[in-house]
Structure 1
């Protein structure tokens, strides 16, 4: 669903002919952003008309200052209203917008934001708001899979509802069920195949246990991305890491990194705040987010050591693979 944006242009009667022209430019530029655009490019001339326009329900309200001579009109309708006030370089638009803002500030009634750009160029702040609104609407359709116990899944649901006022549906799967399904439905890769999947991995003090963990991690990532979440529109998965370590002796860091590489938002430790933030950042930027603990910083060698790192394999030339960052 596209974000709904209400558009209203304001002008003085003296400048109406020119105001119609620039308001039309601004309207078409905003329409080109692919939003559900409400309102009309025809400028309004009276405070009551502006009040009616900004009172209509929408995700975002844009007031385009098409001409000068509109300061009093703006002050009369925008007190306490959250809107984006868009001024442009000509026709005394900006002076009127600034005057209205200062008068409303003086009375404690300014609640909008003043933006500035040419009529044919949507301000970057409006574009940013639209991107965020799209991401929030997409998150509402997210399919969240939680690999954890019932208590942790319930905590996650409650925390997301408290954070957002709502929450996407959360499906829970136990660790052993996940492992069993992965082993039954996806072929276990060879060690060389697993290493190839991780692009440039380097084993340090590699033991049979580490080799087994690497193979299992790649198998799990393959199962989740190719079977479990293959058809999800907005796939999100989170793990209770300590459950996995305790039950099967495997830290999911490699799994998480591989899933992020494949476009799935994967989050450590069933952390609701991180889950929401990472999913939104992923949707806004199109680039995979990742997490890590800062273990060491050596100013002399200009080296940062990250522990429990879930960065995608493609972000580094090599991936040292260890049982623990303390070794």
Structure 2
């Protein structure tokens, strides 16, 4: 629900102010924008500049509050010029904000509906517990932000979970839960190539164990130092991460926190699961690239086979076939996690190279692939169905402090 604080100058008629607020409230309701008018600042998500002469009232209402400032203006009673003056001051202070003009057209209301969604996503991320299970993999030399930086830029609380907790959970895994997971994955597979019965049983135990850790630590998301499982147990977490993703728990590989943050953000915006993968090859001339990884949520694929993990030849990996069509590729990173690579594109083909991770897709981007070579945000990138670039960029400009 969008909470709105109306502000009006004492020089204006109280009856006229009430009439304006009521009319704007009715216009929002007619367009399905759920809202509540406040009588005191409290947790106002937006300020309704009802009249001119409210500039100092607006600044006072914003004292001590964080996040982007939304100023709702209308074409009467000197509302718009007052909003412009307030936003000018806020920009001088380096604070993000926007004026949304609610007039006889629909553009302002449509923009407000989008921004209300952005604020809901921001609140969701700020309430998220992201488990960093084990340290990031040793090769992620550019993808190791500290917890304070994550919270400041994006909101989630980092919860450090020792890898020993996963080892214990695997040993103590509920056998019925593990068996149900194994049956589910095997029953839906188009084929089972390298893994044998013992591989499948152990991968399912990892799945049940990791789910127990998520419950025990009350996590909304996690990223796992999964290669330690390869070295210690001769298995992988690919099946476990796939299962979590389809249960609505964002689950990333290799302890890559920026990639997991990107997955969280894109799931919150798009409403569905995502595919975390490595760029393998790209062609700047055609803006195409190949992506690959050994895990993928089954909700994204048309079909899948159970394979071994590519690098090690151990455990259970997933070779999924994704449908062709519109997709979005993104990654956050850079200094203070405020950088962004994002582009709409089209998924063109699936691959079957023996020299790459098991799930392989070719994507043509609408934007350039050159930034991946010139200014990469890290190695893992995140793919979701549909075109979301405009929404992601708007959220980033409004809700991620510069």
TM-score range, shorter chain: 0.5 to 0.7
RMSD: 4.3
**2-side partners of 1:192 and 1:230: how far apart?**
18
Q: What are the equivalent positions in structure 2 for 1:287-306 lying under 5 Å apart?
A: 287-294=272-279
1:222 aligned onto 2:214 = no
**2-side partners of 1:34 and 1:69: how far apart?**
22
TM-score, structure 1 normalization: 0.68
Structure 2 residue aligned with 1:280, among 248, 256, 265? 265
Name the counterpart of 1:326: 354
Q: What are the equivalent positions in structure 2 for 1:79-118 lying under 5 Å apart?
A: 79-81=88-90, 82-90=96-104, 116-117=107-108
Question: Does the 8 A contact of 2:226 with 2:237 survive in 1?
Answer: yes
Question: Does the 8 A contact of 1:8 with 1:43 survive in 2?
Answer: yes
Name the counterpart of 1:196: 184
1:144 aligned onto 2:142 = no
**2-side partners of 1:193 and 1:264: how far apart?**
16
Count of matched residue pairs: 287
Question: Does the 8 A contact of 1:47 with 1:76 survive in 2?
Answer: no
Structure 1 residue aligned with 2:229, among 214, 224, 244? 244
Q: Deviations over 1:167-212 (max 9, x none)?
A: 624232226x52443233421778896143355213354353xx32
1:23 aligned onto 2:33 = no
Is the alpha carbon distance of 1:69 and 1:182 closer, same or farther for their aligned partners in structure 2, counting shifts above 3 Å?
A: same
Unaligned runs of 5+ in 2: 38-42, 91-95, 283-288, 311-352, 356-402
Question: Larger helix proportion, structure 1 or 2?
Answer: 1
Unaligned runs of 5+ in 1: 95-114, 298-303
1:50: Cα distance to partner? 4.6
**2-side partners of 1:6 and 1:89: how far apart?**
17
Question: Larger strand proportion, structure 1 or 2?
Answer: 2
**1-side partners of 2:243 and 2:21: how far apart?**
48
Bigger Rg, structure 1 or 2 = 1
Name the counterpart of 2:146: 159
1:264: Cα distance to partner? 1.4
Q: Deviations over 1:4-53 (max 9, x none)?
A: x5634569978986664343344574893479437886834315445445
